[in-house]
Chains A and B, each alone.
Chain A
């Protein structure tokens, strides 16, 4: 327990705050970049699979298999074997985070779309809605809560894993863990652990609030 005092001193030293802020923003930046790019991949694919209800099992199985790969292994392998890997570590780091982010996103989108009752879609079609209208005005609004659940778990997982990109020389809050380890500076490591956990909890809480606010009114469940 005598480790707590130096950790507290580390965190409350105003001289460190600007660097902590900078690394927090970097951490959030890596997360946002990866989640944004993943949305570009997962959203069209998920909506297409969910709307046509074709190949949902195959897509989900492929996405699940990708998750079994250890992120640290993928990260080090891409960095070492890509030609720009060491010069531009952001590229392999973002690829790894995208591989991590796409499965929960896809799962949320497909699960939400598939859960829309068949007869609701069919009635919309019978009323003369075009396929695009069915997708935009019927399926997507009804699937939104489940999709947001997928987005939340995706963001939280990417944020947690973005800790290890410090290992290939990037910034982010993982820096304190990796640097502290190299220097055998346990208080610094512990401070990093506290910071990254706090950031993850805050982001998770904010997303939970967004999820609650966007929940369509009048839904039972």
Chain B
């Protein structure tokens, strides 16, 4: 380890960490919100669920580098555009989160649903104010997995020239400089832990009735 290099390049490391964060959070948030209606629908309809399981399984088979490269074809973006990485990461996130959402709505006890119907809740209000909060803890568990996998995968974007902490891997490799790669590895893990903590905190604030997830 060459500690001096870290001190000298602290600004650049910070910039890359910020770039990494900026590529990750839109994908994490987008997969959470897009997965909500799809997952709910899959939870209600067995056929839709089968289709969703097959489709998301197929999506996860595609190597990330291949998906990044194919994105410009569908988005009309340039190969270097960060948007390719964000959209590709959203797709991977959806592959995980749609299933997690369907399972989360499945954890809502049937008699609670029946009780809401009997008390006269309109359907949309029952879904939003009864089912959604009860599915909350399982939804949170799902998005934490999405967040960890997204932050780890975003670094592959460095291979196609999209800057992130992964850039430290490619540069460190080209210069045969292990310190730089270790900084990238540690930075990625720290970023993942910070975002995970933020998600847990958001869960505590939004679901004060729910003590601990496990």
Tell me if A164 and B156 are in contact (CB < 8 A): yes
A200 and B61 alpha carbons, distance in the complex (Å) = 6
List residues of chain A with CB within 8 A of the CB of B70. Answer: 190, 193
Q: How far is the CA of A107 from the CA of B70 in the complex (A)?
A: 32
Secondary structure of the A contact surface, majority rule: helix
- Find the A residue at minimum CB distance from B166: A72
Residue of B60, B63, B79 near A163 (CB, 8 A) is B63
In contact, B62 and A160 (Cβ under 8 angstroms): yes
Give residues of chain A (169-200) contacting chain B, Cβ–Cβ below 8 Å.
174, 177-178, 181, 186, 189-190, 192-194, 196-197, 200
| A197-B185 CB under 8 A given contacts A73-B169, A177-B69, A181-B160 | no
B interface SS class: helix
Q: Is A59 an interface residue (CB 8 A)?
A: no
* Residue from the list A70, A86, A156 in contact with B155, Cβ < 8 A: A70
Choose one: A67, A71, A86, A201; the contact of B58 (CB below 8 Å): A201
- Whether, in the assembled complex, B35 has its beta carbon less than 8 Å from a beta carbon of chain A, the answer is no
Assuming the A-B contacts A72-B156, A80-B178, A164-B156, are A200 and B62 also in contact, with contact meaning beta carbons closer than 8 angstroms in the complex?
yes
A32 within 8 A of B: no
Q: Is B73 an interface residue (CB 8 A)?
A: yes
CB distance from B13 to the nearest CB of A (A): 14
Given A193-B69, A194-B66, 13 more A-B residue pairs with CB atoms under 8 Å apart are A68-B148, A68-B152, A68-B189, A70-B152, A70-B155, A71-B156, A73-B168, A73-B169, A80-B178, A160-B64, A186-B72, A190-B73, A197-B61
A interface residues, Cβ below 8 angstroms from B: 1, 3-4, 67-77, 79-81, 86, 156, 159-161, 163-164, 167-168, 174, 177-178, 181, 186, 189-190, 192-194, 196-197, 200-201, 204
